[in-house]
A and B are shown apart, each in its own frame.
Chain A
Amino acid sequence: MRRIYLDNNATTPVDPRVLDAMLPYFCEKFGNAASRSHSFGWEAEEAVERARQQVAALIGADPKEIIFTSGATEGNNIAIKGVAGMYADRGRHIITQVTEHKAVIDPCEYLREHGYRVTFLPVDRYGRVDVQQLADAIADDTILVSIMHGNNEIGTLQPIGEIGRLCKQRGVLFHTDCCQTFGKVPIDVESMGIDLLTCSGHKIHGPKGIGALYVRRKPRVRCEPVIHGGGHERGMRSGTLNVPGIVGLGKAAELCREHMDSEPARLAALRDRLQAGILAQLGDVYLNGHSTERTPTNLNLSFAYVEGESLMMGMSEVAVSSGSACTSASLEPSYVLRALGVGEDLAHSSIRFSVGRFNTLEEIDYVIGRVVSVVRKLREMSPLYELVQEGVDLSKVQWQAH
């Protein structure tokens, strides 16, 4: 059966060029990058340092400011818990916002249970934080602001440059989770005033299990380690370096940088074609997120009167994801969509499409046709659609919730 992958915000296929770069580091150049006494170690270390440059170049950083991690969850944990631990005597207040990834929210919740104060800022209906509200939330004991760049569910971009400059003025450290934007949206840690930045390999056609954390050196930002051991990565992340993974992340970052002028625009064009094609043929479809300030890969739509999981089931050859409760174990619809004020009914009807490097125009056109036909079929089967056709206002109906 033909399969189309439109879930690139979840993960991406490894680019064959990335795999080629990695392969020698398994069987041939397998050395431990920490081995200083022989050439096996030297060649591994050389590869790691090259990758450090490749990652740093993509965000305007110095290679010495890059720390390799097992992925973005670990990077976020080091940034948040590490800063909290290191600067606890300066203050115990952290500011973040409600639509962060769980890898930011949960470390913050953990700190709250351990004597820290955490402010979760709300977002507007497009998913954006209010910079003035953030400025007002900064207190004398605030040590860290953690605001993501691009949201994983809805793609909304936060004004991180503005936030970074505000944090500089107020003497507060600024961390940003850039998993969804690293390699896809221009990032410059200097002009954006970023002190800590998290990114991941598998979102940019690199391998899973590898990520990087940027930690500013001038002025020096310090993090307590989360994992203790041999003192690797400037003491902030102990553990033998995952050399093949690091090489893959480096190569993936290099490829993104080489195509930064053209690839994000191509992705956005595919995404826009998908959106326009669906909206031209179906009514009562709503965009979740911001219409312009969003990542080039993301399209999150709610199809009124149709439940998300059943829509995905009707086009099972197309891989997408849904904010519907039915796709999670919790039976609660997406907390991101609810934070935007999207009604729970429309949250259940949401589908996230996310495009990537290997998607084609032809695939997009195929998906448009599939979405339109399945939504039409399911609406014919939907009691809600029938009621609306009869002129009933669904919000006035007394439902028997169960």
Chain B
Amino acid sequence: MAYSDKVVDHYRNPRNVGSLDRNDPNVGTGIVGAPECGDVMKLQILVDENQNIVDAKFKTFGCGSAIASSSLATEWLKGRSLDQALEIKNTDIVRELALPPVKIHCSVLAEDAIRAAVNDLKRKQARRQQEAPMGTEPAGNP
């Protein structure tokens, strides 16, 4: 199968490979997929005090298209609010990377990973608010 130039570029020069501290209260982590399905994506976002995404990292086990989809997602996530992050649709990724039909599931996985990371962050923050007494700032890890 021939890959699009953009897939090859993201594969050869993946953006934002790495990990953020998953225990940081401002980091949301999404891990989706399964090894037996041939793809697992870990996508992480870091937000500032205004809930804007200031950093994003990924690690992916999967084909070149899966790596490119997650790499592209991290690029697009930076600078967005959480709501804007959820606006990224798999079809946008398909279009940008010119993915063929058999690789559409890679883009779906990337969208799922974004959702999972955002949900993880929101869950963490909700838990922190419950635990913190009214009027005090949350300190340290929950």
Contact surface of A with B, Cβ cutoff 8 Å: 305-307, 309-310, 313-314, 324-327, 329, 331, 333, 343-345, 348, 380-386, 394, 399-402
Expressed in whole angstroms, the Cα–Cα distance for A380 and B14 within the complex equals 12
User: Knowing A383-B59, A402-B112 touch, does A310 contact B33 (C-beta < 8 A)?
Assistant: no
Bound form: Cα–Cα A399–B41 in Å: 11
Q: A307-B38, A307-B39, A381-B14 are in contact. Are A400 and B63 (CB under 8 A)?
A: no
Contact A325 B38 (CB under 8 A): yes
Question: Contact between A399 and B59 (Cβ–Cβ < 8 Å)?
Answer: no
Whether B102 is near chain A, meaning CB under 8 Å from some CB there, is yes
Q: A348 contacts B35, CB within 8 Å?
A: yes
Q: Which residues of chain A have C-beta atoms less than 8 A from B69's C-beta?
A: none
Q: Are B59 and A402 closer than 8 Å at their CB atoms?
A: no
Bound: A258/B67 CA distance, A: 48
Interface residues on chain B, number (Cβ under 8 Å): 33
Query: Do the beta carbons of B37 and A305 come within 8 Å of each other?
Result: no
A333 to B33, CA, bound (A): 16
Tell me, rounded to whole Å, the shortest Cβ–Cβ distance linking B52 to chain A: 25
Interface residues of B (CB under 8 A from A): 1, 3, 8, 11, 14, 17, 19, 31-42, 59-64, 66-67, 102, 105, 108-109, 112, 116
- Given contacts A381-B14, A383-B41, A402-B112, A305 and B61 within 8 Å (CB-CB): yes
B59 and A345: CB pair below 8 A? no
Would A348 and B64 count as touching, CB distance under 8 A? no
Given A310-B11, A326-B38, A402-B33, 8 other A-B contacts at CB below 8 A?
Answer: A307-B62, A344-B36, A381-B60, A394-B35, A399-B40, A400-B116, A401-B34, A402-B109
What's the nearest-Cβ distance from chain B to residue A140, in Å? 42
Q: List 16 A-B contacts (CB under 8 A).
A: A307-B38, A310-B62, A313-B8, A324-B63, A325-B38, A331-B105, A344-B37, A382-B61, A383-B59, A383-B60, A394-B35, A399-B33, A400-B31, A402-B32, A402-B105, A402-B109
Q: Which residues of B contact A305 (CB under 8 A)?
A: 61
Q: Are A381 and B67 in contact (CB under 8 A)?
A: yes
Cβ-defined contact, A386 with B59, below 8 A: yes
When the two chains form their complex, are residues A402 and B38 in contact, meaning their CB atoms are under 8 A apart?
no
Per the bound structure, the CA–CA distance linking A343 and B37 in Å amounts to 11
Q: For the complex, give the distance between the alpha carbons of A270 and B139 in Å.
A: 61
Chain A residues near B38 (CB-CB < 8 A): 307, 324-326, 333, 344-345, 348
* Max count, chain A CB within 10 A of own CB: residue among B19, B60, B66, B116: B60
Find chain B residues with CB under 8 A from A313 CB: 3, 8, 11, 63-64
Q: In the complex where A313-B3, A329-B102, A402-B108 touch, is A381 in contact with B36 (Cβ < 8 A)?
A: no
| A344, A381, A394 interface centre (most CB from chain B within 10 Å) | A381
Return the 9 tightest CB-CB contacts between A and B, nearest first: A399-B34, A345-B35, A344-B36, A383-B42, A348-B38, A309-B63, A383-B59, A401-B34, A326-B63
Q: Report how far A324 CA is from B64 CA in the complex, Å.
A: 12
Residues of A with C-beta under 8 A to B8? 313
Shortest Cβ distance from residue A387 to the other chain B in the assembled complex, whole angstroms: 9
Least Cβ–Cβ distance between A220 and chain B, in angstroms: 48
A380 and B63 contact, Cβ closer than 8 Å, known pairs A313-B3, A333-B38, A401-B34: no
